[in-house]
Amino acid sequence: MNLIKQENYIANTWVSQGNGSFLEVFDKYTAAQIAKIPMATEAQMEQAIVAAQSAFIELKSWSAGKKSEKLWALRNKIEEHQEALAQLIVKEAGKPISYARNEVSRCITTVETAATEAVRFTGEMVPLDFGPGEGKTAFTKRFPVGPVACITPFNFPLNLLLHKIAPAIAVGCSTVVKPAPQAPLCTFALAMFMDEIGFPIGTMSALVCDIPVAEKLVKDSRMAMLSFTGSEKVGWYLKSIVGRKKVTLELGGNAAVLIDADADLKEVAKKVAVGAYIYAGQTCISTQRIFVVDAVFNEFKTLLTAEVENLKTGNPEDDAVLVGPVIDKGHVKRIEEWVNAAVENGAEVLTGGKVASEANNTFMPTLLTNTKNSMLVSCAEIFGPVAIIEPVADFKAGIEAINDSDFGLQAGVYTNSFENVKAAHENIEAGGIMINNIPGFRIDSMPYGGIKGSGLGREGIKYAMEDMTEPRLMVY
């Protein structure tokens, strides 16, 4: 089965015509063109929205068992094409093959989780048998909100799509998807699977389109919810134009890790090196800021620098490569500019700091120190293979350094002090605190999301299902 589809999927129909222009998709390492997809028109987006409305009417009446059955069928399709999907992720997203295989494995778990949650998702009993409510019984039942507009990023082109599609199916919502222009092909591969399995017309439409057509999807009052994963700038802008509908935003971060004096420094250095540079740092919870208690700072800095220099950069098809290409030349240039600006203002390059290959869009794994929080390499999300390492006086000062950020997605803490574990949980301003782990740790069933500039709401199948439904109270 050829998984590369070069057409939009609208109301269960593959459409090869668009507005006359095309989106070209390139291999991120070789720059070879791998697909050319027509850009959808506003009329085609209207067709997708109308179909989603119609599909929702049917989907919301499906039994939990039927929704679960369809999700299991989707899970099996993904497993059947596991290696082909991983290879597609390598080409369109530039993800190293070992990490791409990990993503597809996670996709199977994501859909399995949705299939099992579909048959046990529930409301709650509401205690009111007292005072004026004496003798009354009350409970809530959750109902799907309606069609969901889904906008997905390039970095996990299949799993982050499934974090929207799978919970939507599990609760009975239809979807219209606008995939990332850099990596849309996994979205259409998933549409192929769903088409074979058989869903109501309009359950999932997927279109590549320009900004005005995408804004039509976001603004349209017939779409009951927006689920967006992507950059902070775009996410908050979309929230400002979305109108009266539910919104979940999974945005960026400049994730930090804090290393206490009692940590196993050699082991932590290995994990932090991977957490900072895997997939060229192109994850929302990539370790970007490293804070080390002063007593062990120099020792850890030496250990970490050595680990970073041992990482292999290059062709993502090579099993040994951890650091593949940056998504495009524009981002390579931006990363280089941010690093150069930091150095010009006093930062020290411990390793890396330069473009590895202009032809292949690779940037050397880079570790900086003597940075200031006003530098973009620290205060903004670099989304590249760059991290900073700085000393802090003590654990409390480390927490303060982590919190000195506009973001709050996830943070990592390495300590063997239970008092410090409690202090981290109570005081770090983030959606998740990973104890004795990097901030990039994620299991697909856990609640995942941020505070401050990092977004609104939570993903993780059950939590997304809650966002895609409304509780309706009954009292008798």
With respect to residue 1, please indicate whether it lies within any of the assigned structural domains: no
The counts of H helices and E strands in the chain are 15, 23
- Asked if residue 342 and residue 244 are part of one domain, the reply reads no
- Asked if residue 151 and residue 120 are part of one domain, the reply reads yes
The rounded distance, in Å, linking the Cα atoms of 461 and 476 is 31
- Asked if residue 221 and residue 260 are part of one domain, the reply reads no
Residues in the chain predicted with pLDDT less than 50, given as ranges, are none
The CATH number of whichever domain residue 429 belongs to comes to 3.40.309.10
- Asked if residue 405 and residue 469 are part of one domain, the reply reads no
The CATH number of whichever domain residue 145 belongs to comes to 3.40.605.10
Cβ neighbours of residue 428 closer than 8 Å, sequence gap 6 or more: 399, 402, 403, 411, 413
The rounded distance, in Å, linking the Cα atoms of 9 and 26 is 20
With respect to residue 23, please indicate whether it lies within any of the assigned structural domains: yes
- Asked if residue 314 and residue 424 are part of one domain, the reply reads yes
Q: Tell me, what amino acid is at 297?
A: F
Q: Which residue range forms the structural domain that includes residue 371?
A: 256-444
- Asked if residue 121 and residue 29 are part of one domain, the reply reads yes
- pLDDT, residue 152, reads 98
Q: Which residues are catalytic?
A: 250, 284
- Asked if residue 340 and residue 234 are part of one domain, the reply reads no
- Asked if residue 117 and residue 80 are part of one domain, the reply reads yes
- pLDDT, residue 1, reads 80
With respect to residue 151, please indicate whether it lies within any of the assigned structural domains: yes
CA distances (Å), origin 183, targets 23, 36, 112, 353, 435: 10, 12, 24, 27, 33
The rounded distance, in Å, linking the Cα atoms of 218 and 411 is 31
- pLDDT, residue 221, reads 97
When computed from its CA atoms, the radius of gyration of the chain, rounded to whole angstroms, is 23
The string over 281-302, giving b where at least 16 C-beta atoms fall within 10 Å of a residue's C-beta and e elsewhere, is: bbbbbbbbbbbbbeebbeebbe
- Asked if residue 280 and residue 228 are part of one domain, the reply reads no
Q: Is the pTM of this model over 0.85?
A: yes
- Asked if residue 315 and residue 361 are part of one domain, the reply reads yes
With respect to residue 43, please indicate whether it lies within any of the assigned structural domains: yes
Phi, psi of 94 (to 5 degrees): 70, 20
- Asked if residue 244 and residue 128 are part of one domain, the reply reads yes
- Asked if residue 104 and residue 25 are part of one domain, the reply reads yes
The domain tally of the chain equals: 2
With respect to residue 34, please indicate whether it lies within any of the assigned structural domains: yes
With respect to residue 149, please indicate whether it lies within any of the assigned structural domains: yes
